[in-house]
C-alpha cells in the first residue's frame, strides 16, 4: 500500500511556493545558468538524460484539439483552491482552474498570464501589475484589479500559510483602474515577484467570497477560476473532473476537451494504470522509482524530470544539537563523513537524485557555493572524529545509540533511513529507526524536539530566502511549526544574515550573504545535505507539450494536446 | 445497541486523542509552511482548543442525536461523506462474501462428498493456499495478470470516469470494475467456507436420517440437496455474520490496491489526517453494518431451520 | 480470525482426548504430518538463523537487486538495498513467529480469562463481559489494530499488542461455550461439593478439559497474526529495525513488476508458515474429535 504511511504518496505536502529569486533573476541575467546546470546534473543518470533530451524537444507539429486526459492525483486534495491550502495535490489540480498573474519558464523567468506586464519602482517600494483585459471568471463575471486587491488583503495576508510572510511588507494595495494593481511596500521585497504564479498567489473571485467565511466557502470545493479548465465535478475518493473553458483568453488553447484527475492510492496500481493507458499524466514521481525506469523504456510513455525547477527539492538530515552526543560538532562531521551520498542517490533513489553538498542546491547556480566546506565519504575519518570526541567503541563495537525519524512520505524515505542506519552502524553508531505518521513526525521534530536524527526534504525554491533559510532560523525552534528549524541550531550571526537578505534590494549583496550563510552552516553542520532530488512526471508519449513551464507541477495543461488520442478505456 | 455505540465512541475517542498531533497540524504540515497564528486559527475553527472533556461530551451528545458531526478536513458533514461511500463498501462486501460463500460451499460440498479422494485434497489445498497468501499480494498479482497482461479488466476504480453510462450499461461497467477487488477479497474467505461446508457435509452424511435415506434407495444427488446441503448451510450462514467485521477490515487493503472508493480507505485516511469525527463516524457505521448483518443472518437462520424462532 | 470461528463451530467436542494418544492420532493424518513437517522447516530456519547467517540481516552486503541464483553467495538474491534475501527470510522467521506467538498469548490471556469468567459465573458478570466482547467484535478488527498501531507508533511491541487486543473476542466466546458445558459436568459438580475454590476448579478441572479446542484456535491465531503483521507492513506500519516477512513483502511490492523475487520469496515463507499452522490446526481438531475416526 501505498503506501505508505501518511496518505500514501511520496509527496503529501506542497512546499511549492515561496519566495524567490525571480526578481533577482531579472536583474542578474544569470538565468540561463539554471537550465544549463539542470542539464548537467541530469546527465548523471544516462537513462534519464536520454529521456530528457527526447522529451524536451519541442514538438514541431501543429497542435490538434480534442481528447480527454486522465491524470493521477494522489493523495486526494483537501480543497481545490491553492489560495487557502498550498498542499501539492491542491496545487496540481488548482493550477488548471486558476491562472496566476504569471507563470515561470524553465529558467524561472516570469511570463505574462493574468498580468501582461509589471514593473518595480526605482526604490523597490512599489510593484505595479497591469492586468490582461477581457478575462472573465468561469461564471462570466469580469476579472479585475478589485479581485487581486481583495484576495491579497483578505486571503494572502490573513489566511495563506506562507504568503503572510511573503506579502508582509505590503502596506497598501492601490487600484487606479480595473486593470492596474499597485503594491506599496514598507521595504523592498524581492521575494514577491517569484511567488505570483497560480500556486504562489492565487486570485479568488471577490464577488463569490466577499463577506463570507472564507475557509468554509462552498466554492473552495467547486472553484470558479479564470483558467483553461472549468471545474465540473468532484466525486470524493474517486475523481475530480474538469472541462475545457471555451472562453479562455489564450485562444485556441486549451486543446484538450476534458481533464480528469483520478485518485489511485497504490503506487504499483498507478504504474499498471499508466502501462495500460488508463491514465496519461501524473506529477511528483507518481510511480515507484524502479518502475519509472521500466515505464520509460515503453514506447507509449515518457518520464520527464523537467517542470520542477521552481521547487528544487533536496533531502537532508537535521541533527538535534541538544543531543548529548550530537552537540559536539565533531560527531556531526563524523556522521557526514560516514554517509556515502553518491550510493544513497544511486541505490535508494535509483539515480533520481544527485549527491548534495550544500543546503542551497546546485540548481540555484547563482546562490550555490561550490567552495563551502565539504565532507567526503570517509569512514576512517568518521571513526577518528568519533574517537577524538570521546566516544570510543564500547561493548559490541557500539559507541552510542541515536533515534532516527524519517518523513513518512513513502518507501523511498524509509529506505533512505535504513541506508543511514547501516552507514552509521559501520562506524559504531547504533541507529533506532522510528516509523510514524506525518502529524506525529512533525510534532516530534518541530514541537517536542524529541528526535536525534530527522530525515526530511524541503523545496529550496528559486530563491533560498524562503526555501532554505527556514532550516536555520532560530525563531521557529520548538514552536511546532512544520518544516522549519528541526535541529535546534541557534546562531545569531546566521539569524542576522537571514533577516538581512529579506529586506535587501541589492542582488550582489544578497548573494554574498547567502554564500556566507552556507560557509557557516556547513562548518557548524546542524544539518547534513544528502541528495538533490529529481522528481519526475510520467505522461503518455502521445500527449505533446505536457511539460512547458518551470512550475509545471503546479501549472496547467493548457498547452498539451494529443497527437494520437488514447483508446478510451 | 446504544451501549455498544457509546462504548465504541468512547474507546475510539480516547484512543485517537492519545495520538500525537491534531488535524490543524496535519493541514499546516501539508501546506508546506505555516505561522503559529495560522495553526491557532485552524485549531479554534475545528474546536480543538476546547478542553478534552468538553469535546467528548459534545461528541457523545451529537452521536445520540444521530449527528455524526462535521469533517473539517473535507468541509462536509460526516454523514454525507459516509453515505457517499457506503454503497461502494456494501457492494464490495456483498460481492466478495457472496463469491466466497458460493464458490467455497460448492468446492466444500464437492470435497466433502468425496472425502479423502484426490479431488478433496486438491480443493482443500488450493483453498488453503489462497487463505495463506497475503491479500494485497494476491491483488497485485491478479492486477498484473488480468489487467496488464490479458487486458480483460480495468486496473482500478469503480466506474469508467466520464463514460456517462446509465441504467444497465452503468451496472455492467461497475460489475466490470468489481470483479478483481471482489475476487481478491473473496479468495481469502473461500477456504473458510469450503472447509466449513466440507465438514458439515461429512458430518451430516454420517447422521442416521441420511443413512436411512440412502437405505431407502433415494438417489444420491437428491439426498445431497434435500438433507445434506440444507443442514450444512446453517453454519455457513452463521459464519457470514461472524465474518462481516473482518471483511470490512480486509477491505482497507483491497480498496488500496484497487482504488475502490469505500469506507475502509476513508477510515484509513481519516486516521492519518486526525480527522476524528470522520474516523469515529466510519467506525460507528461499520459497527452498525455488523449488527444489521447479524440480524439478517438470524432471520435467514430461522428461514433455513424451522426449529429456530427469531428471538 | 476466520478459520478460528470455524474451529469454534466444529470443534465442540467431548474433552475425552487423552494427550498420550493425541500424537499418535495426529501422525495418522497426512495433512497434519505435512503441517508438522512444514512447521518444522520454519522452526529450524528460525532457530538456525544465527548459525546459517551470522551477519546482520539488515546489512547491505552486495549489489542491490541480484536475482536468485546469480551469485552463489546469495542464493535467493538481494533486495533494493543489497541485503541478502535468504538471510532476511531466515531471520524473519524468528520475528514473524515471535509476533504470531506473543500476539496469540496476549489474545489467549484476554480471551480465555473473559470466556472462563463469563462461563463459570454466568449471570450479570456474564452479561457484562459478553457486552464488552460484542463491542470489540463489532469494530472491524483490522481497522482497530491499524488505529492502535498508528496511534502508538509501529514497533514490535505495539504491533503484537494491537493484534492481541483485537483478536480475542471469538476465542472468548469459544471458551465461554466450553466452560458453560463443563460447568455442569459431574466432575465439576463433585469438586464444588467437596468445597474446592473457584479458581482451582477453573484452572484445574475446567480449562484443561477445554484445552483441545483452545489449542486448535491458538494455532490458527498464530497464522492469522503473521498475516495481519504483513498487512500492517503493506500499509506502511512495520518496524524498520527488525526484519520480518511482512516487512520484506511490504518493502518489495514496489519492485514486484521488475524484480519479482524481492516480495515473492518472503511471501512464500508466509504462505508456508500459515499453511503449516492451519494444517496442524485441522489435524489437531480431527485428532481431538472422536467421531472423525469414522471416516
Residue A1 near chain C (CB below 8 Å): yes
Torsion angles phi and psi, residue A303, rounded to 5: -115, 125
Q: Coil, strand, or helix at residue A453?
A: strand
Which of A181-190, A503-512, C23-32, C215-224 has the least mean pLDDT? C23-32
B151 in contact with A at a CB cutoff of 8 Å? Answer: yes
Of A268, A272, A408, which has the smallest distance from its Cβ to C254's Cβ?
A268
Model pLDDT, residue B122? 86
* Angle between helical axes of C30-52 and C85-121 (0-180°, round to 10): 130
Contact indicator for B32, A14 with CB cutoff of 8 Å: yes
Q: How confident is the model at residue C290 (pLDDT cuts 50, 70, 90)?
A: low
Q: Which three cell numbers stand for residue B288?
A: 452498525
Q: Do C257 and A415 touch (CB under 8 A)?
A: no
Q: Is residue C13 part of a domain?
A: no
Residues of B in contact with A191 (CB under 8 A): none
Q: For residue A315, give the C-alpha cell.
A: 533531502
Least confident of A525-539, B151-165, C115-129: B151-165
Residue C15 in any domain: the answer is no
Greatest Cα-to-Cα distance within chain A, rounded to the nearest angstrom? 77
Contact state of B189 with C253 under an 8 Å Cβ cutoff: no
**Which of C155, C254, C258 has the CB atom closest to A411's CB atom?**
C254
Give chain A's mean pLDDT: 86
Whole-angstrom Cα distance, residue C198 to residue C120?
Answer: 9
User: Could you give the dihedral angle defined by the CA atoms of residues A460, A463, A464 and A467, in that order, rounded to the nearest 10 degrees?
Assistant: -40
A313-533 has the same fold as A99-215? no
Q: Is C15's pLDDT higher than 70?
A: no
* Number of separate helices (H) and strands (E) present in chain C: 14, 0
Domain boundaries along the sequence of chain A: 21-98+222-304+540-562, 99-215, 313-533
**Do A161 and B32 touch, CB atoms closer than 8 A?**
yes
The residue of chain C nearest to residue B290, with distances taken between CA atoms, is C138
Q: pLDDT at position A565, please?
A: 66
Residue B167 Rama label (left phi>0; alpha psi -120 to 50; beta) = left
Stretches where chain A sits below pLDDT 70 are 1-60, 161-162, 565-569
The position carrying cell 506586464 is A117
In-domain check, residue C21: no
Radius of gyration of chain B (CA): 24
CATH number of the domain to which C217 belongs: 1.10.3720.10
Q: Look at chain C and report how many structural domains it folds into.
A: 1
A440 touching chain C per CB within 8 A: yes
Cβ distance of B261 and A12 shorter than 8 Å: no
Q: Indicate the fold that domain A313-533 takes in CATH.
A: Dipeptide-binding Protein; domain 3 (3.10.105)
Rounded Cα gap, residues A551 and A102, in angstroms: 11
Does residue C264 fall inside a structural domain? yes
> Mean pLDDT for chain C?
84
In this structure, is residue C1 part of a structural domain? no
Residue of chain B whose Cα is closest to the Cα of A1: B256
Mean pLDDT on C275-287:
85
pLDDT at A569 (0 to 100): 43
- Give me the residues paired with residue A231 across strands: A242
Contacts of B5 in chain C (CB under 8 A): none
Mean pLDDT of all residues in B93-104 = 90
> Does residue C196 register a pLDDT over 80?
no
- Contact between B158 and A238 using a beta-carbon 8 Å cutoff: yes
Q: Which of A18, A68, A263 is closest, CB to CB, to B259?
A: A263
| DSSP string for B181-247 | HHHHHHHHHHHHHHHHHHHHHHHHHTSHHHHHHHHTT--HHHHIIIIIIHHHHHHHHHHHHHHHHHH
- The answer to whether residue C39 is domain-embedded is yes
Looking at residue A161, what is its pLDDT?
Answer: 65
Q: Which chain B residues are closer than 8 Å to A75 by Cβ?
A: 269
Domain range for C224 is 28-62+73-294
Question: For residues A463 and A312, what is the distance between their CA atoms, to the nearest angstrom?
Answer: 10
pLDDT for the residue C89? 94
Q: Which of residues 55-94 of B touch A (CB under 8 A)?
A: 73-76, 81, 84-85, 88
Number of H helices, E strands in chain B: 13, 2
Of B132, B140, B242, the CB nearest to C274: B132
Chain B, 254 to 283: residues with Cβ < 8 Å from chain A are: 255-259, 261-262, 265-266, 269, 271-274
Q: What is the per-residue DSSP string for A115-156? A: EEEEEE-TTS-EEEEEEPTT-B-TTSPBP-HHHHHHHIIIII
SS3 B71: strand
Q: Which residues pair with A429 in a beta bridge?
A: A400
C-alpha cell at A133: 483585459
pLDDT (0 to 100) of residue A170: 92
Is there a contact between B184 and B254 (Cβ–Cβ < 8 Å)? yes
Q: Please report the DSSP string for B162-178 in residue order.
A: T----HHHHHHHHHHHH
Quick one: CATH architecture of A99-215? Answer: Alpha-Beta Complex (3.90)
Q: What is the mean pLDDT of residues B171-186?
A: 90
H or E stretch including A402? strand A400-406
CB A48 within 8 A of CB A42: yes
CB contact under 8 A, C141 and B206: no
C-beta pairs of B144-148 under 8 Å, 24+ apart in sequence? B144/A272, B144/C256, B144/C257, B146/B180, B147/A272, B147/A276, B147/B180, B148/A272, B148/A275, B148/A276
pLDDT, tens digit, for every residue of B239-270? 777 778 888 888 888 998 888 988 888 888 88
Q: Contact, A132 vs A124, CB < 8 A?
A: no
- A21-98+222-304+540-562 maps to which CATH number? 3.40.190.10
Asked if A381 and A336 touch (Cβ cutoff 8 Å), the reply is: no
- For residue A75, whether the previous peptide bond is cis, meaning omega lies within 30 degrees of 0, is yes
Is the pLDDT at C41 greater than 60, yes or no? yes
Amino acid at each position: 500500500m501505498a503506501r505508505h504511511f501518511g496518505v500514501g504518496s511520496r509527496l503529501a505536502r506542497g512546499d511549492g511556493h515561496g519566495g524567490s529569486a525571480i526578481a533577482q533573476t531579472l536583474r542578474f541575467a544569470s538565468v540561463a545558468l539554471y537550465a544549463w546546470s539542470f542539464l548537467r546534473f541530469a546527465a548523471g543518470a544516462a537513462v534519464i538524460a536520454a529521456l530528457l533530451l527526447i522529451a524536451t524537444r519541442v514538438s514541431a507539429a501543429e497542435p490538434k484539439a480534442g481528447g480527454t486526459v486522465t491524470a493521477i492525483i494522489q493523495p486526494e486534495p483537501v480543497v481545490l483552491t491553492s489560495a487557502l491550502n498550498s498542499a501539492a495535490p491542491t496545487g496540481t489540480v488548482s493550477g488548471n482552474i486558476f491562472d496566476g498573474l504569471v507563470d515561470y519558464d524553465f529558467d524561472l523567468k516570469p511570463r505574462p498570464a493574468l498580468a501582461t506586464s509589471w514593473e518595480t519602482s526605482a526604490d523597490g517600494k512599489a510593484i505595479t501589475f497591469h492586468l490582461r483585459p477581457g478575462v472573465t471568471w468561469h461564471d462570466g463575471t469580469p476579472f479585475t484589479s478589485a479581485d487581486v486587491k481583495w484576495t491579497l488583503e483578505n486571503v494572502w495576508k490573513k489566511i495563506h500559510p506562507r504568503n503572510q510572510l511573503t506579502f508582509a511588507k505590503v502596506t497598501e494595495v492601490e487600484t487606479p483602474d480595473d486593470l492596474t494593481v499597485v503594491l506599496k511596500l514598507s521595504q523592498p521585497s524581492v521575494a514577491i515577484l517569484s511567488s505570483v504564479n497560480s500556486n504562489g498567489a492565487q486570485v479568488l473571485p471577490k464577488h463569490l467570497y466577499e463577506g463570507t467565511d472564507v475557509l468554509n466557502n462552498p466554492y473552495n470545493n467547486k472553484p470558479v477560476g479564470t483558467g483553461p479548465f472549468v471545474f465540473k465535478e468532484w466525486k470524493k475518493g474517486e475523481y475530480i473532473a474538469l472541462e475545457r473553458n471555451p472562453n479562455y483568453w489564450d485562444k485556441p488553447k486549451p486543446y484538450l476537451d476534458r481533464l480528469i484527475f483520478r485518485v489511485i492510492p497504490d503506487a504499483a496500481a498507478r504504474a499498471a494504470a499508466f502501462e495500460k493507458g488508463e491514465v496519461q499524466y501524473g506529477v511528483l514521481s507518481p510511480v515507484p522509482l524502479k518502475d519509472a525506469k521500466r515505464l520509460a523504456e515503453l514506447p507509449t510513455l515518457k518520464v520527464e524530470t523537467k517542470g520542477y525547477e521552481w521547487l528544487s527539492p533536496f533531502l537532508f538530515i537535521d541533527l538535534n544539537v541538544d543531543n548529548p552526543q550530537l552537540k559536539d560538532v565533531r560527531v556531526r562531521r563524523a556522521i557526514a563523513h560516514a554517509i556515502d551520498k553518491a550510493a544513497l542517490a544511486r541505490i535508494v533513489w535509483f539515480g533520481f537524485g544527485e549527491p548534495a553538498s550544500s543546503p542551497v542546491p546546485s540548481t540555484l547556480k547563482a546562490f550555490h557555493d561550490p567552495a563551502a566546506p565539504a565532507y567526503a565519504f570517509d569512514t576512517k575519518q568518521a571513526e577518528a572524529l568519533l574517537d577524538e570526541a570521546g566516544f570510543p567503541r564500547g561493548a559490541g563495537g557500539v559507541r552510542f545509540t541515536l533515534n532516527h525519524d524519517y518523513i513518512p512520505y513513502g518507501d523511498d524515505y524509509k529506505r533512505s533511513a535504513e541506508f543511514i542506519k547501516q552507514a552509521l552502524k559501520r562506524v559504531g553508531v547504533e541507529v533506532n529507526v522510528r516509523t510514524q505518521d506525518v502529524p506525529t513526525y512533525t510534532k516530534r521534530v518541530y514541537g517536542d524536539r524529541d528526535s536525534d536524527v530527522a530525515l526530511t526534504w524541503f523545496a529550496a525554491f528559486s530563491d533560498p530566502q524562503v526555501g532554505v533559510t527556514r532550516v536555520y532560523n532560530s525563531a521557529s525552534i520548538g514552536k511546532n511549526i512544520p518544516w522549519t528549524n528541526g535541529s535546534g541550531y541557534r546562531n545569531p550571526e546566521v539569524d542576522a544574515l537571514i533577516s538581512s537578505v529579506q529586506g535587501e534590494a541589492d542582488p550582489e549583496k544578497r548573494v554574498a550573504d547567502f554564500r556566507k550563510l552556507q560557509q557557516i552552516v556547513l562548518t557548524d553542520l546542524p544539518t547534513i545535505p544528502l541528495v538533490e532530488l529529481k522528481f519526475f512526471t510520467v505522461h503518455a508519449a502521445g500527449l505533446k507539450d505536457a511539460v512547458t513551464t518551470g512550475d509545471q507541477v503546479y501549472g496547467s495543461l493548457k498547452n498539451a494536446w494529443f497527437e494520437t488520442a488514447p483508446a478510451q478505456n | 445497541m446504544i451501549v455498544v455505540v457509546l462504548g465504541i465512541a468512547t474507546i475510539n475517542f480516547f484512543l485517537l486523542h492519545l495520538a500525537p498531533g491534531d488535524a490543524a497540524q496535519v493541514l499546516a504540515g501539508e501546506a508546506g509552511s505555516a505561522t503559529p497564528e495560522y495553526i491557532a486559527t485552524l485549531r479554534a475553527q475545528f474546536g480543538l482548543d476546547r478542553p478534552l472533556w468538553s469535546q467528548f461530551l459534545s461528541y457523545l451528545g451529537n452521536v445520540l442525536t444521530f449527528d455524526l458531526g462535521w469533517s473539517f478536513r473535507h468541509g462536509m458533514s460526516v454523514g454525507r461523506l459516509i453515505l457517499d461511500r457506503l454503497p461502494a463498501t456494501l457492494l464490495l462486501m456483498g460481492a466478495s462474501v457472496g463469491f466466497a460463500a458460493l464458490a467455497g460451499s460448492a468446492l466444500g460440498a464437492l470435497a466433502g462428498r468425496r472425502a479423502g479422494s484426490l479431488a478433496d485434497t486438491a480443493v482443500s489445498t488450493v483453498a488453503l493456499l489462497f487463505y495463506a497468501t497475503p491479500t494485497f499480494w494476491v491483488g497485485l498479482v491478479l492486477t498484473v495478470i488480468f489487467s496488464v497482461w490479458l487486458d480483460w479488466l480495468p486496473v482500478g476504480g469503480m466506474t469508467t470516469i466520464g463514460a456517462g453510462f446509465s441504467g444497465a450499461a452503468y451496472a455492467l461497467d461497475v460489475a466490470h470494475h468489481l470483479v478483481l477487488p471482489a475476487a481478491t477479497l473473496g479468495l481469502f474467505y473461500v477456504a473458510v467456507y469450503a472447509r466449513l461446508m466440507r465438514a458439515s457435509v461429512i458430518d451430516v452424511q454420517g447422521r442416521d436420517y441420511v443413512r436411512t435415506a440412502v437405505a431407502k434407495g433415494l438417489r444420491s444427488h437428491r439426498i445431497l440437496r434435500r438433507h445434506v446441503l440444507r443442514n450444512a448451510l446453517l453454519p455457513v450462514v452463521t459464519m457470514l455474520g461472524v465474518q462481516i467485521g473482518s471483511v470490512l477490515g480486509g477491505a482497507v487493503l483491497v480498496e488500496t490496491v484497487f482504488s475502490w472508493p469505500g469506507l475502509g480507505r476513508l477510515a484509513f485516511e481519516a486516521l492519518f489526517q486526525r480527522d476524528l469525527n470522520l474516523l469515529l463516524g466510519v467506525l460507528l457505521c461499520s459497527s452498525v453494518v455488523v449488527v444489521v448483518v447479524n440480524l439478517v443472518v438470524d432471520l435467514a437462520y430461522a428461514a433455513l431451520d424451522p426449529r429456530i424462532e427469531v428471538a | 480470525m476466520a478459520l478460528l470461528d470455524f474451529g469454534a463451530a466444529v470443534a465442540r467436542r467431548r474433552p475425552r482426548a487423552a494427550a498420550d494418544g493425541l500424537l499418535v492420532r495426529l501422525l495418522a493424518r497426512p495433512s497434519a504430518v505435512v503441517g508438522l513437517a512444514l512447521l518444522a522447516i520454519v522452526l529450524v530456519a528460525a532457530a538456525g538463523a544465527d548459525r546459517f547467517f551470522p551477519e546482520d540481516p539488515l546489512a547491505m552486503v552486495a549489489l542491490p537487486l541480484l536475482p536468485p541464483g546469480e551469485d552463489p553467495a546469495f542464493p535467493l538474491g538481494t533486495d533494493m538495498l543489497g541485503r541478502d534475501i535468504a538471510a532476511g527470510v531466515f531471520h524473519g522467521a524468528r520475528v514473524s513467529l515471535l509476533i504470531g506467538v506473543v500476539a496469540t498469548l496476549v489474545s489467549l490471556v484476554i480471551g480465555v480469562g473473559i470466556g472462563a469468567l463469563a462461563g463459570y459465573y454466568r449471570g450479570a458478570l456474564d452479561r457484562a463481559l459478553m457486552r464488552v466482547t460484542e463491542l470489540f467484535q463489532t469494530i472491524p478488527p483490522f481497522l482497530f489494530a491499524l488505529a492502535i498501531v498508528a496511534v502508538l507508533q509501529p514497533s514490535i511491541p505495539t504491533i503484537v499488542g494491537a493484534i492481541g487486543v483485537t483478536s480475542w473476542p471469538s476465542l472468548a466466546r469459544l471458551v465461554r461455550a466450553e466452560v458453560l458445558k463443563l460447568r455442569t459436568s459431574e466432575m465439576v459438580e463433585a469438586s464444588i461439593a467437596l468445597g474446592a475454590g473457584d479458581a482451582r476448579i477453573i484452572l484445574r478441572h475446567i480449562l484443561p478439559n477445554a484445552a483441545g479446542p483452545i489449542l486448535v484456535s491458538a494455532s490458527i491465531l498464530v497464522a492469522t497474526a503473521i498475516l495481519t503483521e504483513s498487512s500492517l507492513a503493506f500499509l506502511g506500519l512495520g518496524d524498520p529495525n527488525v526484519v520480518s516477512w511482512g516487512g520484506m513483502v511490504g518493502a518489495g511490492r514496489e519492485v514486484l513488476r521488475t524484480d519479482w523475487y524481492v516480495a515473492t520469496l518472503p511471501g512464500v515463507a508466509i504462505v508456508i508458515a500459515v499453511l503449516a499452522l492451519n494444517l496442524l490446526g485441522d489435524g489437531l481438531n480431527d485428532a481431538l474429535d472422536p467421531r472423525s475416526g469414522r471416516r
